[in-house]
Amino acid sequence: MLQWWQSIILGIVEGVTEFLPISSTGHLNVVQKLMGLPIDDPGVTAYTAVIQVGAMAAAIVYFWKDIVRIATGWLGGLRDASRRKNPDFQMGWAVIAGVFVTAVVALAFKKQIEGPLRNLWVIVAALIVWGLVMLVADKLGKQTRGEDSITIKDGLLLGLIQAIALIPGISRSGATISGGLLMGIDRVTATRMSFFLGIPTLLAAGGFEAVTQAKNISAGVGWGATVVGILVSFVVAYASIAWLLKFVASNNFTAFVVYRILVGLAIAALLWQGTILAV
């Protein structure tokens, strides 16, 4: 059973890291290991997914007007063919397509994601390697496309890229933002797209784990601790979203790249010294 203070710490880690391109799962796994928790335990794995619901709820509140606008535009296009040139109609289809692709890959590789890939050496490699990918994307991305240019093809590609982030350490937001930049999408739009794709994806993942792993959560970490983690992640994530959108409006991602590499090297050092075990 998780102690309340442990769940508060994990909720803070989730809220801070979920939307920053530094990998929330990677950070949660490391902190859980430092707490002595078995990161490949079904209850702990489910807990990690379920507390993301808090962060997603924060994103829904923050982007509520955008969500309503896109949903209205999409529904309007379904009813009236003349409204299908509306960018919101295209955005709606892009999000649906992206979430579908991610879901298919997640279900196909669920056992690997929750098993062998939850290894701290995998997280070390993912943090460093994808950090370099982010650096390249930030430098080479033309950033000539705005939100009104997003198509269903973009959604499919970003959904596939988002699926790559199922590997702990890559970062879902880091993957989708990098993919967007390499596709010519500007930094702010790519960041907003990572939110639009992440909200339904992670809500579905968290809900799925809550239903299918209810017994493991109850017997392992406990529902009380899980609820605390969800509430804390909601509050912290809301502040994190506001900060990130302000940051990307006038800064590149170099600071995040440096952070990822330093954290990756720090984890590797702990593993080499035997302070923590890889699994």
Q: pLDDT of 188-215, one tens digit each? A: 999 999 999 999 998 988 888 888 888 8
- Structure tokens given for 43: 């209850």
Give the burial string for 66-93 (b: 16+ CB within 10 Å, else e).
ebebbeebbebbeeeeeeeebbbbbbbb
Domain contains 174? yes
- Structural domain count of the chain: 1
| Domain residue limits at 155 | 4-273
When pLDDT is cut at 50, 70 and 90, the band that residue 113 belongs to is: confident
Q: What value does the mean pLDDT take over residues 37-66?
A: 91
Domain contains 279? no
Q: What is the model's pTM?
A: 0.90
Domain contains 278? no
**Does position 97 have pLDDT exceeding 90, yes or no?**
yes
Q: pLDDT of 156-199, one tens digit each? A: 999 999 999 889 899 999 999 999 999 999 999 999 999 999 99
Domain contains 255? yes
Domain contains 140? yes
Q: What value does the mean pLDDT take over residues 111-137?
A: 89
Q: What is the pLDDT of residue 2?
A: 85
Query: Could you tell me if residue 37 is left (phi over 0), alpha (psi between -120 and 50 degrees) or otherwise beta?
Result: beta
